[in-house]
A and B are shown apart, each in its own frame.
Chain A
Amino acid sequence: MAKKLGQHTVSRRNFLRIAAAGVGGIGAASLLSACGGIGAPSAPASSGDTEAPAQLGVAQETVEVWFWDDSLAAATPGFEKLHPNIKVDFKKLSYDDTHQKLLTSLAAGSGAPDVCALEIGKVGMFTNKGGLVDLTSGAFAEGAKYKADMVEYKWVQGSTSDGRLIAMPWDVGPAAVWYRVDKFEAAGLETDPEKLQEMVQTWDDWMEIGRKLKAATPQTSIMADAGTEIFTAMVEQQGHGWFRDGKVVIVEKGTPALEKAVEFRKNKIDADVPWWGADFQAAMQQGALGGMIIACWMQGGMTRDHPDTVGKWRIIRAPGGDFNWGGSFLSIPEQSKKQESAWKYLQYICCTAEGQNAIFKNSGVYPAYRPAWDDPIYDEPVPFYGGQRAFRIWLEISDKVPTNLVSPHDQEAGDIVGAEVTKAMKEGKDPAQAMKDAQETLLKQVPGLSA
């Protein structure tokens, strides 16, 4: 799901950035593919064959929609059937282009689509400014009623500090601890997810299992890169991002996370292989990774790039709390002249079980809209996870993710922290000092912030 690729996370975003720049990236192919369908190959309805039978005499209106992945198109036929006088013009842009062109057209005052998707890593860019309608007031007042139906953290992420909702939650990116049953079996470790879940209460427990895995099968590590996986997990378990109540909390959130990640590295628990690159793909290919900590969308990438691992993965919930990694929103620009139709479309996608599940069944994009979860599909055993009823687990995780407001400086903070994390992970810098330096750098870079 290319759209989740972008996360506030590191390299993924970079990849998209590259791909977007038309420059490509190491392993870009696999990244982009990460959005591949969960089960059915995505057969997006192109706008060409979705010409709903227009009612004679009723004026047709076309709603232009921007998004960076085909998955959204899966809901178009259902919507056009329901609203025969509205046509959906789905424009697939790159991840970076979607956000940048939206920003440009908002600045220019024209050129924006009627509905535009935003990713969690980019929502912050739009929160402090005008340009996107508040989906809970005026003509959109009824949007407020969806608050109770949406997973809480997503609603907060789409909101501004002054209480407007500029981005309607669409999908979630629940993350968990993954492991490979075949590798665990070979090492004589517990393989049943429920029993393992009970054994793993803290990250230290997982480190212990990683140590045993490596001791029994020296070629296999329990994760690729603790600096990405342990660090992200422990930071996001405290809520998204580096700001809380307008204050910078890099030292507070980052220090324990980075210390733990360094401990994993020093004990040689992780493979020290960077995510997303050619080395990662090679490590996966050779079975050097017996586990990983990542979000639900990785299922698509694994199915496509490493089909031999399908059926061998299981998930358990992360020790120390559930967390989120990625996910998107839909927004309506103020300059749109078809806001009424756009609003109907947005509601269909984000706030109906029909729209959300049409997309889930096609591409495995997990709905943030809770009523959609009643569909029996979520209780089915999933072959990818060897029959584990993982869909339901992912939904349960997303319901427990801690909330936090996004900030316009999310990305810059993330980059600055990322640079310090590499120093600690690769060059042996003291983790506490690294996070202190990151906080100081951010305060220097963005005048007006306080810690």
Chain B
Amino acid sequence: MATASIPSAKRTKNQELWHEIRRSFWPYLFISPFFILYAIFGLFPNVYALVLSFKEWDGLSEQRWVGFQNYIRLFQDEIWWKAVFNTVWLMFGTLIPQLSLAFILAFILNSGYIRFKDAFRTAFFTPVIASSVAMAIVFGALFGTRFGILNYLLSYVGIPPIDWLGSAMWIKPAIALLVIWRWTGYNTIIYLAGLQSIPSDLYEAAKVDGAKQRDIFWHITLPLMRPVITFTVILSIIGSLQLFEEPLLLTAGSAGGSSTSPGGTDQAGLTTLMYIYNASFQYVKFGYGSAMSFALFVLIFGFSFFYNRFLGRNLTD
């Protein structure tokens, strides 16, 4: 709102503010739905969760103030650290292959050597909108140890069956494969949009100057794509640190105990968000769950900030 205030010595600060609001009554009214909705559905839950993270609450009994105890417990909770390790592993394990693959696919799609571009674009994007139930069934059939398609194919090249979902060692690669399959197309579309926004006269000028295809890629395409790359990296960092659905799909049916083992064998596929969900809604420890949520927030903020500060910006500058 660019309403210039009228300085007046007589008015107190409050009056001044009030005056301003009245002057801009209609504009404020029109933008108010956002602030009202945000306050109800965004601000309030967040503030309440922050307050809750200093309390102990099982949903029904009285809330009890426990200070920083939840946060202290967090640091000593081996399951939490295991979940953090798994999540960070999955972040690196999915981010790099997924984004490189997406870039290559987008580059090929944009190159002009390909026909039926629309068909490919649709095909790549389909996994993003695929139903989770279907995904779970298909990937369950893929990763089955005894009767899985993947192991069947591996047997042709003499590789013994891999216990994809049942062993602590292979569950993370299996989750990573699912994540990569699901989100590569999404990033491909973003990259494709980025590639198409590069003005073609730049390429033409380079060609006229005798630049080779490789030089054009390194010196024109890549630098101009850096903002887009930064965008997808940040999105992927946020997304993969909040990984929930994919590991849940793959580990839910594979537990080998009479009781659940969330995250599969040795909790090797347990992500932070899965643990937060379990602690809050399965073990009804809402205070502890809230504390973990804020710890996860710090983690996400940290990784994003680090990338932006030390990698993203340097590249764009």
Binding site for B on A (CB under 8 A): 8-11, 13-15, 17-19, 21-29, 96, 100, 103-104, 106-107, 125-126, 128-131, 225, 227-228, 231-232, 235-236, 257, 271-280, 282-283, 286, 288, 408-409, 411-423, 425-427, 441, 444-445
Q: Contact between B60 and A130 (Cβ–Cβ < 8 Å)?
A: yes
Q: Contact between B146 and A282 (Cβ–Cβ < 8 Å)?
A: yes
Stretch of B115-123, B259-267, B306-314 at the chain-chain interface: B259-267
Q: Contact between B140 and A415 (Cβ–Cβ < 8 Å)?
A: no
Measured as residues with beta carbon below 8 angstroms from the partner, the interface class of chain B is 35 or more
Q: Contact between B255 and A14 (Cβ–Cβ < 8 Å)?
A: yes
Stretch of B130-138, B210-218, B234-242 at the chain-chain interface: B130-138
Complex CA distance for A10 and B245, rounded to whole angstroms? 18
Q: Contact between B58 and A129 (Cβ–Cβ < 8 Å)?
A: yes
Complex CA distance for A15 and B250, rounded to whole angstroms? 11
Mind listing 6 A-B residue pairs with CB under 8 Å?
Answer: A13-B260, A25-B133, A26-B249, A231-B258, A408-B284, A415-B261
Q: A14-B262, A417-B259 are in contact. List 13 more A-B contacts (CB 8 A).
A: A10-B255, A25-B133, A25-B253, A26-B136, A227-B257, A275-B253, A282-B144, A282-B147, A415-B260, A418-B257, A419-B263, A426-B163, A426-B256
Complex CA distance for A396 and B110, rounded to whole angstroms? 70
Cross-chain pair count, CB within 8 angstroms: 218
A212 → B minimal CB distance (Å): 22
Contacts of A283 in B (CB 8 A): 146-147
Contacts of B124 in A (CB 8 A): none
* Partner among A28, A228, A422 whose Cβ is within 8 Å of the Cβ of B133: A28
Closest 3 CB pairs of A and B: A24-B133, A414-B259, A421-B257
Q: Contact between A425 and B249 (Cβ–Cβ < 8 Å)?
A: no
Complex CA distance for A416 and B147, rounded to whole angstroms? 29
A156 → B minimal CB distance (Å): 20
* Partner among B147, B256, B267 whose Cβ is within 8 Å of the Cβ of A425: B256
Complex CA distance for A13 and B257, rounded to whole angstroms? 12
Q: Contact between A419 and B146 (Cβ–Cβ < 8 Å)?
A: no
Complex CA distance for A96 and B278, rounded to whole angstroms? 12
A395 → B minimal CB distance (Å): 24
B293 → A minimal CB distance (Å): 17
Q: Contact between B254 and A274 (Cβ–Cβ < 8 Å)?
A: yes
Q: Contact between B253 and A413 (Cβ–Cβ < 8 Å)?
A: no
* Partner among B59, B137, B167, B282 whose Cβ is within 8 Å of the Cβ of A278: B137
- Say whether B283 faces chain A, with CB atoms less than 8 Å apart: yes
In the complex where A23-B245, A24-B249, A411-B282 touch, is A278 in contact with B257 (Cβ < 8 A)? Answer: no
Q: Is the interface of A mostly helix, strand, loop or mixed?
A: helix
Complex CA distance for A17 and B79, rounded to whole angstroms? 20
A280 → B minimal CB distance (Å): 8
- Say whether B193 faces chain A, with CB atoms less than 8 Å apart: no
Contacts of A125 in B (CB 8 A): 284
Q: Is the interface of B mostly helix, strand, loop or mixed?
A: loop
* Partner among B167, B249, B251, B259 whose Cβ is within 8 Å of the Cβ of A8: B259
Complex CA distance for A419 and B144, rounded to whole angstroms? 20
Considering only CB atoms, which chain B residue lies closest to A242 in the complex? Answer: B259
Complex CA distance for A280 and B248, rounded to whole angstroms? 18
- Say whether B5 faces chain A, with CB atoms less than 8 Å apart: no
Complex CA distance for A27 and B258, rounded to whole angstroms? 18
Q: Which of A9, A15, A27, A419 has the most CB of B within 10 A?
A: A419
A262 → B minimal CB distance (Å): 11
- Say whether B165 faces chain A, with CB atoms less than 8 Å apart: yes
Complex CA distance for A295 and B60, rounded to whole angstroms? 32
Q: Contact between B59 and A277 (Cβ–Cβ < 8 Å)?
A: no
Complex CA distance for A257 and B77, rounded to whole angstroms? 27
Complex CA distance for A279 and B261, rounded to whole angstroms? 18
In the complex where A21-B248, A23-B245, A412-B283 touch, is A421 in contact with B256 (Cβ < 8 A)? Answer: yes
Interface set, chain B 134-165, CB cutoff 8 A to A: 134-137, 139-141, 144-148, 163, 165
Q: Contact between B252 and A14 (Cβ–Cβ < 8 Å)?
A: yes
In the complex where A103-B59, A279-B146 touch, is A27 in contact with B259 (Cβ < 8 A)? Answer: no
Contacts of B265 in A (CB 8 A): 422-423, 426-427
A191 → B minimal CB distance (Å): 26
Complex CA distance for A288 and B284, rounded to whole angstroms? 40
Q: Contact between A14 and B256 (Cβ–Cβ < 8 Å)?
A: no
Complex CA distance for A288 and B58, rounded to whole angstroms? 44
- Say whether B317 faces chain A, with CB atoms less than 8 Å apart: no
Complex CA distance for A51 and B163, rounded to whole angstroms? 54
Q: Contact between B259 and A418 (Cβ–Cβ < 8 Å)?
A: yes
Q: Contact between B167 and A427 (Cβ–Cβ < 8 Å)?
A: yes
Complex CA distance for A271 and B257, rounded to whole angstroms? 15
Q: Contact between A408 and B132 (Cβ–Cβ < 8 Å)?
A: no
Contacts of B76 in A (CB 8 A): 444
Complex CA distance for A198 and B282, rounded to whole angstroms? 42
Q: Contact between A23 and B255 (Cβ–Cβ < 8 Å)?
A: no
Contacts of B282 in A (CB 8 A): 17, 411-412, 415
Contacts of A271 in B (CB 8 A): 146
Q: Contact between A277 and B261 (Cβ–Cβ < 8 Å)?
A: no
Considering only CB atoms, which chain B residue lies closest to A411 in the complex? Answer: B282
Contacts of A9 in B (CB 8 A): 258-260
Q: CB-CB contacts of B263-275 with A at 8 A, as 1s and 0s?
A: 1111100000000
Contacts of B261 in A (CB 8 A): 10, 415, 418-419, 421-422
Q: Contact between A418 and B79 (Cβ–Cβ < 8 Å)?
A: no
Complex CA distance for A232 and B256, rounded to whole angstroms? 11
* Partner among B61, B252, B254 whose Cβ is within 8 Å of the Cβ of A18: B252
- Say whether B166 faces chain A, with CB atoms less than 8 Å apart: yes
* Partner among B133, B147, B249, B253 whose Cβ is within 8 Å of the Cβ of A11: B253
Complex CA distance for A416 and B79, rounded to whole angstroms? 9
In the complex where A278-B141, A423-B266 touch, is A17 in contact with B256 (Cβ < 8 A)? Answer: no
Contacts of B167 in A (CB 8 A): 426-427
A423 → B minimal CB distance (Å): 5
Considering only CB atoms, which chain B residue lies closest to A22 in the complex? Answer: B132
Contacts of A409 in B (CB 8 A): 283
In the complex where A23-B136, A29-B137, A427-B167 touch, is A14 in contact with B253 (Cβ < 8 A)? Answer: yes
Complex CA distance for A100 and B166, rounded to whole angstroms? 29
Considering only CB atoms, which chain B residue lies closest to A233 in the complex? Answer: B258
Q: Contact between B249 and A106 (Cβ–Cβ < 8 Å)?
A: no
Considering only CB atoms, which chain B residue lies closest to A226 in the complex? Answer: B256
- Say whether B206 faces chain A, with CB atoms less than 8 Å apart: no
Q: Contact between A418 and B252 (Cβ–Cβ < 8 Å)?
A: no
Q: Contact between B248 and A422 (Cβ–Cβ < 8 Å)?
A: no
A418 → B minimal CB distance (Å): 3
Interface set, chain B 88-145, CB cutoff 8 A to A: 131-137, 139-141, 144-145
Q: Contact between B146 and A26 (Cβ–Cβ < 8 Å)?
A: no
Q: Contact between A419 and B266 (Cβ–Cβ < 8 Å)?
A: yes
* Partner among B139, B163, B245, B258 whose Cβ is within 8 Å of the Cβ of A26: B139
